[in-house]
């Protein structure tokens, strides 16, 4: 129980859990990356960089942060890494579109 509110794991995340997702997406590059991955499931960092017109190191670091936040999944394909939205990433994009 936090702040007098009981959280049911099946219905609502705790404030600490929600903070992880919000901090994970709290950057314009990260939001753009989520949108790019949604359009191109299995996209590699090089392709994300080309699509967004950003710096490879910048996009790579933000992609890593999104994976750590649980919003993106990554799967190794040889020397490249394919990125896809996690279930939470999909939910987060739906949430962002309500604004």
Domains annotated on the chain, with CATH: 15-96 (1.10.10.10)
Q: Which residues pair with 82 in a beta bridge?
A: 75
**pTM for the full predicted model:** 0.85
Nearest one of 95, 93, 18, 91 to 7, comparing CA atoms: 18
What is the Cα–Cα distance from 95 to 98, expressed in whole angstroms? 6
- CA–CA separation, 59 vs 15, rounded Å? 28
| Residue range 30-41, pLDDT digits in tens | 999 999 999 999
pLDDT in tens, 43-53: 999 999 999 99
What the block records as the tokens of 61 is 């670091």
């Amino acid at each position: 129980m936090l702040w007098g509110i009981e959280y049911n794991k099946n219905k609502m995340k705790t404030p600490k859990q929600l903070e992880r997702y919000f901090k994970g997406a709290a950057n314009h590059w990260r939001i753009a990356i989520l949108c790019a991955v949604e359009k191109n499931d299995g996209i590699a960092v090089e392709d994300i960089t080309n699509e967004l017109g950003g710096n490879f190191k910048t996009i790579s670091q933000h992609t890593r942060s999104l994976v750590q936040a649980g919003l993106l999944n990554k799967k190794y394909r040889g020397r490249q890494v394919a990125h896809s939205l996690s279930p939470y990433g999909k939910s987060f994009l739906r949430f962002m579109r309500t604004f």
